Structure 1
Amino acid sequence: MHDIRLIRDDPQAFDAGLARRGLEPLSAALVSLDERRRAAQTELQAALARRNEASKAIGNAKAQKREEEAIALLTEVSALKTRVPELEDAAREADTALEANLAVIPNLPAAEVPDGLDEDANQQVSRWGEPRQGEWPEHADFAPALGLDFESAAAIAGARFAFLKGGIARLHRAIGQFMLDKNTSEWGYTEVNAPVLVRDAAMFGTTQLPKFAEDSFRTIDDRWLIPTAEVSLTNLAREKILEEKQLPLRFTALTQCFRAEAGAAGRDAKGLIRQHQFEKVELVSITAPEASEDEHERMTRAAESILEALELPYRRMLLCAGDMGFSARKTYDLEVWLPGQSKYREISSCSNCGDFQARRMNARFRREGGKPEFVHTLNGSALAVGRTLVAVLENYQEKDGSVRVPEVLLPYMGGATALTPG
């Protein structure tokens, strides 16, 4: 959520930031709504003050036998009692209109974010590992012999669901457990078992609502299935005033995630890349403003370290202004090499949201002797478990259809060193 005062103070800078996102100027309309809101509030406050003043004056007028004055004051107070609710409604409507307009405007990109409107303008920052070359099948073609079952899942749930059975299910579980252990033991994140059903306010706080409602699943009791544990974990700071010494807060969780993929018709329909139900290990940090840039680098390194431990080639991409997510001011994407597609595919996004989400959640902290300030929030995947499984399957596959288990996952595999067709 944007601070209307900053828009009012520097509308040109705000519109310039929107232009980098490919959006038209909005400052004039927002300032106009704000003026309407402030005018309504001023008129309401004046009416309330006059009603209180007139009510007190009635007693004095009666005490001094000034009957005509008392009658006039009573008439005025009566009129104000009718007028005040009208002004309260007008102020409330103006405030709601401004909030509704602000709620659908994305965060502004940081200065160092490159210009551009789509992924073609993203910049490669670094690359690790040597991509596996040669002709290799995609996981969807060879993994059914290892226990990957799309047909049975489609029969009971429809498209974009899968059964994992036997060794491939064990490997999937091993990947998630390895990620949690690495995030907690090496990077100091606190493991959280988080709700996967949340209320509107939680989804609004992390910007899934109102703009992206169609991309999420809603239950019959008006809760939402989380599209990412970012929703649950970031809202741990909701409506709180933290002490500076508590920061940074670092949380990690392995959860089921659910996405309707409403805007992805026809994209990645084959395989595990884009499913309605999937598991993801999420990282969330809550920091002081001056610490968020360093925390962003640290979080991205935590995600990269998992790929390196698994010996999966990847590259780090700095997203351009037009390709970032709604709430991000700066995002790094990590893209892993998939031999079956002979290309890099996104496996993690690590974003610094600044105070954008904190304003929506009223999440603040207080320095010693100071006034409350908004925290900065960050989130990143470390990693999407299903996509990591795909990367392991394709990078560790053998010509006979088997898949070697990465060395770091062996302690989680109950003695199995490979998945074999059967």
Structure 2
Amino acid sequence: MPLSEAVPNNLDNGAPKTIYQKSIHNLHHDQKWQQETTLGKRVGLYRLQGEVGRGNFSQVKVAIHELTKERVAIKVLDKAKLTSKSRRMLVKEISSMESVHHPNIIRLYEVVETYSKLHLVLEYAPGGELFQKLTTEGRMREPEAKAVFIQIVSAVKHLHERNIIHRDIKAENVFCGLRGSVKLGDFGFSTRVSTEELLRTFCGSPPYAAPELFRDASYQGQPVDIWALGVLLFFMTTGHMPFPADSIAGLKRSILLGVITTPAHLTHECRTLIRGILRQSPSDRYKLDQIIYSEWLDGMTTNGPCESWSMLPTFGEGDVELSTIEKTARERLEVLGISPEMLKEQSSQGARSPVIAAYRIIVHRLQNIAQLPPIAPPPKPPKSRTCIIL
């Protein structure tokens, strides 16, 4: 929905009264805001900052949301560079992200479209890519790897339960949040499948590709994602890939041969899990439940979805019981000048509404805080052994 249509009906001809009204007014009338928009330093209610990533058809920038002051990531796509195939993939990407809500999956807040660009406003993970962390700091110790891996498995389980296949699981698409939390992102190759439906498109990064992608004309989606989890686990715990090669042809031969050499420093339980996941036959490969209940992950718990929330406000007849988080979110929205009536009016717009985007940002921020592990208290100083002379 164009932002010009988002101006609340109760805005009189006089000066705007609320933070939301002022922001919408500035967007259309403030000379500085309009200049920043022309220069590509602003889009909608977001002030763009530095670039943090770049792809074939897109770049990712950090931005600040004017209303909530929350930092977000914005994936900027040039419409002129999008082919018909990439447009179809983009529709699937947005659909996939709109239909999932999990603490270990990057959230989609808003879609802002201009004449030449399309902007996906996403949750920002301040720790950057897991790939960068691994290449900079080296392999993880197994306790740390367990804590990270179970979160990624939780995200994939959430997707598969909704018949969504990611098809591009890799360290570059796992993002580090606060206090050890990680988030699975980049749904550009994702697709929704029906039960037992076979896929035919080779997607994702070749080093993470399952053997059936090289061998067969069609493949099942879930085992392909699970194979990629095995490659990722190997990379996390060893610091290198399980199938090294100097070329795509060499990589294909190595993956189809399926010989894995696990370093001696890995525990027996970790090696068993890796070998159980990286099995040549999709039918023999570990299922997600086998991974979750493996000896290596014993004692680890998966994260479930953040309440039963569809990323839209709750409305119903009579008194509807709201969660504590949603009550808090609505109170904060009221301070900004966004009323329950405005939420209800624009809920059908979903990601195309700046009002719903503000709601999503605030709610997801509150849920992220609620999901974070507590900060460990500082160690107590040792008791003094000084003698007291009376």
TM-score using structure 1 length: 0.22
Greater Cα radius of gyration, structure 1 or 2:
1
The structure with more strand, counted as a fraction of residues: 1
Name which structure has the greater RCO, CA cutoff 8 Å, separation 6+: 1
